[in-house]
Amino acid sequence: MAKYKVCVYAISKNEEKFVLRWFNSVCEADEIYVLDTGSTDNTVKLLKDLGVKVTTEEIKPWRFDVARNKSLNLVGDDTDICVCLDLDEVLEKGWREKLEKNWGSGVTRARYNYNWSFDEYGKPSVNFYIEKIHARHNYKWTHPVHEVLTYVGKDNEKFITIPDLTVNHYPDVSKPRSSYLPLLELSVEEDPQDDRNMHYLGREYMYYGKWNECIDTLIKHLNLKSAVWKDERAASMRFISRAYINLGRYEEAKMWLTKAIDEAPYLRDAYVEMAMLQLKLENYVEAEKYCQRALNITNHENTYINEPFSWDHTIYDILSVSLFYQKEYDKSLYYSNEALKISPNNERLKENNNLIKNFTLETQERE
């Protein structure tokens, strides 16, 4: 197996609670570099005590791409493989052996498994491939936020995929994301034809409850010639529907969910959101129908677009409620039990389950 010089690089700010866990996951590297951008806690001291090469520099005005590029510039030119890993991320043990085993002549970049979030039982709920392991040269980071590793070489990139190399993400939910919206607006201003950032900006407006801006921006995304990835297009349509629901315009919401289903019929998400809407509108037969259509899809696509609620207890919960109101009590209880198998500690599901059981028994006694 070939021997390569492997370096890890990162940016940090007030990450003291993650330092030791992060270091233990990256210590297989030959060298570790961190650009600290203004920590006021013990992040820098802890990193240096562990032997990490730390440089401090405040980035004003703040941009993620500038910070990433400065951290990459810390890595020596003689490095073969660069691994970009944030301090709230953890590489699973044995990653270096897997990386060197798969890396070969001419390879410039690696795809690998990324668990972005976990459910309450520790099972990955959003999982996809990412590509932040790369050759030292001919790469730079672009965009102020949701930054992208961009190849700038003359020859073609050569990718490898390492499915059993895994990074787990454990975000600090206490950190604000208030900088994201203005940075996304700046990103779209700098490159209005970038479909990815247009989608992200529309999604961010949705997070902020800016419903009209969300709708307008996501329609712009759908009209871009480069917006061809059906999964993301369907997500934009679903987010438009959510905005219309919050505006109380349910027919338009249903229209956009229908568009999302037609755009990516192989994904569960739009069916489930349609079932949620039909349940909200007390259209129980329709809610049941869309849940059953969702259950017919058994392939879980490996993409960040997937919604956790499409693969947790939600479908069975909706079916249970819908069937209860259709007076299909045995079926309702069956799906309630299925929901509890997935989320046995969910108090609302347990209460519903008991209610359905009691109601079913009372109904049988009256009969």
pLDDT digits (tens, 9 = 90+) for 92-109: 999 999 999 999 999 999
Please indicate whether residue 86 or residue 126 has the higher confidence score (pLDDT).
86
What integer is the mean pLDDT of 63-77?
Answer: 98
The two tokens of residue 150 are 């961009």
- CATH 1.25.40.10 domain span(s) along the chain: 176-302
Do the beta carbons of residue 237 and residue 259 sit within 8 Å? yes
Could you tell me if 266 and 260 are in contact, meaning their C-beta atoms sit under 8 angstroms apart?
no
Identify whether the C-beta of residue 266 lies closer than 8 Å to the C-beta of residue 299: yes
Q: What is the pLDDT of residues 288-343, one digit of tens each?
A: 999 999 999 999 888 888 899 999 999 999 999 999 999 999 999 999 999 999 99
Residues of the chain with CATH 3.90.550.10: 6-169
C-alpha 55: how far from its chain's center?
Answer: 30
Residues 6+ apart with CB under 8 A from 247: 211, 212
Interatomic CA distance for residues 161 and 109, integer angstroms: 9
**What number does CATH give the domain 176-302?**
1.25.40.10
Which helix (H) or strand (E) segment is 253 a member of? helix 250-263
Using DSSP, state whether 55 is helix, strand or coil: strand
Please report which confidence band the pLDDT of residue 206 belongs to, taking 50, 70 and 90 as the band edges: very high
- Round to whole Å and give the CA distance between 227 and 195: 5
Q: How far is CA 217 from CA 97, 168, 171, 204, 319, in A?
A: 44, 31, 27, 10, 34
Between helices 269-280 and 314-325, what is the axis angle to 10°? 30
Q: Which fold has domain 6-169?
A: Spore Coat Polysaccharide Biosynthesis Protein SpsA; Chain A (3.90.550)
